[in-house]
Structure 1
Amino acid sequence: MKPKLPEEERNSPVASRTDVRTERRASHHHRQFEVMGAHPTERGTWFTVWAPNARAVGVIGAFNNWHCEPLYRLDDGSGRWAGFVEGARAGQCYKYRIQDAAGHWMDKADPYAFRMELAPGTASQIWDLSHEWGDGEWMHTRWQRQGQKTAISIYEVHLGSWQREEDGRFLNYRDLALRLATHCHNMGFTHVELMPIAEHPFYGSWGYQITGYFAPTSRYGTPQDLMVFVDTLHQQGIGVFLDWVPSHFPADPHALARFDGTALYEHDDPRRGFHPEWNSLIFNYGRYEVRDFLISNAIFWLEKYHFDGLRVDAVASMLYLDYARRHGEWIPNAQGGNQNHDAVAFLQDLNTSVYAAFPDVHMIAEESTAWPAVSRPVDWGGLGFGMKWNMGWMNDTLRYYSRPHFYRHWHGEDIRFSAVYAFHENFILPLSHDEVVYGKGSLLDRQPGDDWQRFAGLRNLYGYMWTHPGKKLLFMGGEFGQQEEWHHERTLDWHLWARPYHAGLARWVADLNALYRRLPALHANDFQPEGFGWLPAERHEPTLLAYVRRGAPGDAPVVAIVNMTPEPRTGLRIAMPEAGTWHELLNSDAAYYGGSGVGNLGAVQATSHGVGGWPASALVTVPPLGTVILSTTPTTSTIAPQGVPHARE
């Protein structure tokens, strides 16, 4: 018999929604966190859990000395169990005790728990998410600060290895916020992107094997500490993106796997439900309860924690039924193809729902294939993301920059091909954590040559990246030339800032960010073909790139010239968009950055001598492994001392 609800609890999250469940379910209820999980009141806590195939469900915790308190099955056909436990209060740990159809008992963490106990503990915690926010100005102007025509330069961070206490202990979210805000201001980044921070028992997964989808990891503090983290960065004018993982989840027995004794969140057939590459389980996107769980989770992080966007991990693994599988290890769709139609529908529903609720955020896809229209609207047939990581640009660029300088002459297509498809999607150019792990070495270590050439080459790479169409993303440590490959168990080598080449590289990144933010030509048309054009040289140089970036009519154009070899180019005639004085705004070879000082004395003069169909041209000196950035309008002040026209000794 269903127990009678206490009079004062009939307006609980469960009871107040009983009469509208059928309607909400039909329209995809994407705010499940308001109903599910543990919701404390003055007298106790309401618990609600989805376990449709269970024989019995109860709750155990510190409030009942871990003896089972039975929950009752709701009679609405939803498969949910609920109950009120008097005396259960915020901060106390709990789990659900579930009896499967065969009579076996198991203890499970709450899929909707707002907090989990510190690992290696696996219990959920009752928690109140109230917080006094102070970021009203940011939230009201967010649509202006991160529109598609604004400068977006993202600093990707793994919180546990960015910085730690001197004794190796993790920093609290609050301390991290203060340090990160200062660092991002100094370096000019507009946003921080956090690698996954939802609770994960295995720290070595970097957060990508999630067991607590609604709980920020307790390693760095409480949910309110994380709110203060976001609040602090917002008040300092810095946006915060979150790396979000709806593509797979681990098989830890205390979590989602076979939650009620059956494949509830995953597929029962391992050909669809098991991920061979990550040894994890795949969500069943065909179940509306699973879709609601995930979409509710996305909305939860954006609403409760004020995140400014979600970077959706491993989208390609969701889209293809045969992803990382050999012949015979996957099941084709109804048409015999390898497209996962359920995942496509889920992603379209996800993006439509998120943008309807938060039109000023960004949904960002990490999608590594040529799936069409990833960042195009759903009603155009797209997946509905706002932006997409440009994995093709990243792979081609790093392959090119890793080659010895002598061989680059024969591989020009690697560095030029991205312009062919640069505007097919709304691209972010990522140099992420994935590029500095698993034996790949650091970005600095992958540059060929001696020390001088390696630092010059990395400055050259960043100059090319910051002037190429697309928003920017750089993993922590790249801004000052981290030498060692990244490892999650150690902090960055901050002592390297005391070394001249490393400090010079950091100054270069800061000045690139400042120029990128200041000049609309470098960001306003990141997603529009009219924002980019190749500039030919009178004498073809396979290892030299020259191109123009444009903003709106009336914005001063910007010309970037990138030399991929350690030999300076002097008196090189390059086409220019117009005649007149072109000011050398930045030069990566300036001594200020650790360069040799080869340059153009601050400006070049373009004449009406046309080249390659362009109306003007200029004689330009391009330094060894250098990037020169020119514009018809100087910035407010010279950002850094520029080079003088002499060769490096």
Structure 2
Amino acid sequence: MQSQDALLSKDELYLFNVGQLFQAYRTLGAHPIELDGQKGVRFAVWAPHAQSVGVTGDFNGWSEVGHSLVRFGTTGVWTGFIAEADVGSRYKYAIVDSSGANRLKADPFALQSELRPNTASIVNRIDGYEWHDRDWMERKKRNPPYDGPMLIYEVHLASWRMDAPEHFRTYEQLSIELVEYAQTMGYTHIELLPIMEHPLDRSWGYQTTGYYSATSRYGPPDGLKVLIDKCHQGGIGVLLDWVPGHFCKDDHGLRLFDGTALYEDEDYRRAEKPLWGTLAFDFGKPEVQSFLISDAVFWLDIYHFDGLRVDAIASMIDLHFDKPDELKTNNKYGTSEHLEALDFLRKLNETVFRHFPEALMIAEDSSSYPAVTSPTYLGGLGFNYKWNMGWMNDMLRYMETHPDQRSSHHSLITFSLMYAFSENYVLPLSHDEVVHGKRSMLHKMPGSYEEKFANLRLFYGYWMTHPGKKLLFMGGEFGQYDEWKDFAGLDWELLQYPLHDSMHRYVRHLNRVYLDTPSLWELDHNPEGFQWIDVNNAAQCILSFLRIGKKEQSFALSVCNFSNQSYPRYRIGVPSPGRYRHLLNSDEADYGGSGISIPKEVSAESVPMHGQPCSIDVPVPALSFGLWEKIG
């Protein structure tokens, strides 16, 4: 066995032990190296309470004892160099735990894992891929996202396209098909449901065992780099759904790693996540902080992801979240705030933005915790975006209401503007809303078959012009009728039917209009970018408002008729005289609508209306969205 000092840095392990090693993936795990002229693999694993640790794998016939590792001082890390191992070698750690029991554990820092149901780790290199996205990486540094368009396509790679059950597209295939599709549709970003290694397909990646392993379902890890590289070359950013809140209990994973609650909280009441059957991390433990924050940095550094959507914030910061009384605990102040989790999130965001100032850190948070997107130095959590779950819930409840009943629920579509600028929001229409009996977006809509499509086109128009960035789950763009089936591909065959094909064209056009209309996104997070024209017309269920851009007299007028009554003439107040161009009408025959004729341009008249000095008189079809732009 070589000298430990030749294998690991004391300084790096010190930083790991105090929660300050933020590239721990370069220190721990399995790394091919050359030592004293001999090639092999350096292994390092944190197991402070183990009696002994060995490495067993296909290079030693899966020996019960394996090659022995040596404890590195008081760091709790075991290390060793194995000349017989190489890139591609499969291995596990053979641990004699604190009680003397034998455990076979996958490497928490493994860079690759076997395809389920196998669970071994695989030696791989951390670097070596030749990237071709320099222009993209430089461009995003110059263009902060706040005053730009953001239109996110949320994707579950397994079921986006699937020829047969478990016949998944490879990363390389997706780098062609998915990228071309996203470009055609006009999406600015793709967000991937978790692609970290996980044992159960139907967990969608939310119950992870390999935090540093890109899942082998779609091929080797470099294939994922190809996919991201191609996205960037095509002008598309890539976000990763990241799950630091909990991990699954599978025996080969993190649970009781060295016979003790190492990664999970020692208090079982805090550790248990009964809703999901998982365990919460111990966010106050320094080594766990190094592990998790390094993982966030890893995906941004090694894989060039442009940002992370951080899952289930509400469950992390509330000690009582979805827990029965016997599992509820309080903090030292007697309240349910998880103080260590809050500190961890602040530290996470401070670290990420120190290394990647241009990153997107998006909180999936259903709680009312304040200042989620405020800087930590102002007392915030330090994210730069948060999902607007309140808007989503209110709007889906409203849209599911029959048009005849909507007038009594008018506040559901207006209340969001009371808080729209309190955080930097993303408006999510995500996978969570189209599973578990919730029905697809199209199927949620009331009325006849044709009315369902009209309602959905209207809803998408309102969504696209409401302040905030946008996210749509795959299938929503062509009116998937069945709710999401994670075990099968999307129902692409629906595009042979006229109304689904029309919906697809409408969404593509709506996306393009959004991208080409700066007033819809330049002041997304500024109250000056929004102005109601008519907010109080509950009786007719008609809303109108302005989205205002940075240039003088730059604005777009959104008109939404949520009723099933058409109005051949409807007067709408506007702030200035001149000509107004019709940008989009969801009721066009080409989109499956009634085809009521709408003039391409109108001139504002000096007729005061809705508190404005001028007005336009235009047709407003039933269940329709219309967008007008001042042009002169």
Question: Which bin holds the TM-score, normalised by the shorter protein?
Answer: over 0.9
CA distance in 1, matches of 2:491, 2:94: 46
Give 2:211's match in structure 1, choosing from 199, 213, 217: 213
CA displacement at 1:540 relative to structure 2: 6.3
5 Å-filtered alignment, 1:430-441, equals: 430-441=428-439
Partner of 2:264: 266
Partner of 2:440: 442
Structure 1 counterpart SS, 2:190: strand
Give 2:93's match in structure 1, choosing from 93, 96, 103: 96
CA displacement at 1:405 relative to structure 2: 1.2
Return the letter of the residue paired with 1:128: R
% identical aligned pairs: 45
Partner of 1:530: 528
Contact 2:16/2:286 (<8 A) preserved: no
Return the letter of the residue paired with 2:56: I
Contact 1:211/1:256 (<8 A) preserved: yes
Of 225-234 and 505-514, more deviation after overlay is shown by: 505-514
Contact 1:146/1:152 (<8 A) preserved: no
Say whether 1:31 aligns with 2:23: yes
Partner of 1:619: 617
5 Å-filtered alignment, 1:265-284, equals: 265-284=263-282
**Could you say if the C-alpha distance between residues 346 and 566 of structure 1 is closer, same or farther in structure 2, counting changes exceeding 3 Å?**
same
Give 2:32's match in structure 1, choosing from 31, 35, 40: 40
Of 236-245 and 564-573, more deviation after overlay is shown by: 564-573
5 Å-filtered alignment, 1:220-259, equals: 220-259=218-257
TM-score, with normalisation over the residues of structure 1?
A: 0.94
CA displacement at 1:567 relative to structure 2: 1.4
CA distance in 2, matches of 1:532, 1:315: 29
CA distance in 2, matches of 1:235, 1:523: 24
Contact 1:599/1:622 (<8 A) preserved: no
Say whether 1:54 aligns with 2:46: no
Structure 1 counterpart SS, 2:87: coil
CA distance in 2, matches of 1:581, 1:600: 15
Give 1:66's match in structure 2, choosing from 62, 68, 86: 62
**Could you say if the C-alpha distance between residues 24 and 81 of structure 1 is closer, same or farther in structure 2, counting changes exceeding 3 Å?**
closer
CA displacement at 1:470 relative to structure 2: 0.4
Structure 2 counterpart SS, 1:148: helix
CA distance in 2, matches of 1:486, 1:276: 25
Structure 1 counterpart SS, 2:289: helix
Partner of 2:506: 508
Give 2:115's match in structure 1, choosing from 105, 118, 131: 118
Partner of 1:84: 81
Contact 1:537/1:575 (<8 A) preserved: no
CA distance in 2, matches of 1:614, 1:260: 70
Contact 1:587/1:599 (<8 A) preserved: no
Partner of 1:287: 285
Partner of 1:415: 413
CA distance in 2, matches of 1:267, 1:26: 17
Unaligned stretches of 5+ residues in structure 2:
none
Say whether 1:361 aligns with 2:353: no
Q: CA RMSD in A?
A: 1.6
5 Å-filtered alignment, 1:117-516, equals: 117-129=114-126, 130-145=128-143, 147-165=145-163, 169-516=167-514
CA distance in 1, matches of 2:15, 2:274: 38
Partner of 2:568: 570
**Could you say if the C-alpha distance between residues 27 and 209 of structure 1 is closer, same or farther in structure 2, counting changes exceeding 3 Å?**
closer
Contact 2:467/2:521 (<8 A) preserved: yes
CA distance in 2, matches of 1:365, 1:539: 34
Of 599-608 and 530-539, more deviation after overlay is shown by: 530-539
Q: Could you list the per-position Cα deviations for residues 155-203 of structure 1 after superposition, in whole angstroms to 9, with x for gaps in the alignment? A: 0000000012467511100101211111111111111000000000011
CA displacement at 1:361 relative to structure 2: 1.2
Contact 1:537/1:573 (<8 A) preserved: no
CA displacement at 1:329 relative to structure 2: 2.2
Give 2:102's match in structure 1, choosing from 105, 111, 117: 105
CA distance in 2, matches of 1:26, 1:436: 42
CA displacement at 1:144 relative to structure 2: 4.1
Q: Could you list the per-position Cα deviations for residues 536-557 of structure 1 after superposition, in whole angstroms to 9, with x for gaps in the alignment? A: 2897645111000011133620
Of 36-45 and 297-306, more deviation after overlay is shown by: 36-45
Contact 1:538/1:573 (<8 A) preserved: no
Partner of 1:638: none
**Could you say if the C-alpha distance between residues 583 and 412 of structure 1 is closer, same or farther in structure 2, counting changes exceeding 3 Å?**
same
TM-score, with normalisation over the residues of structure 2?
A: 0.97
Contact 1:576/1:616 (<8 A) preserved: yes
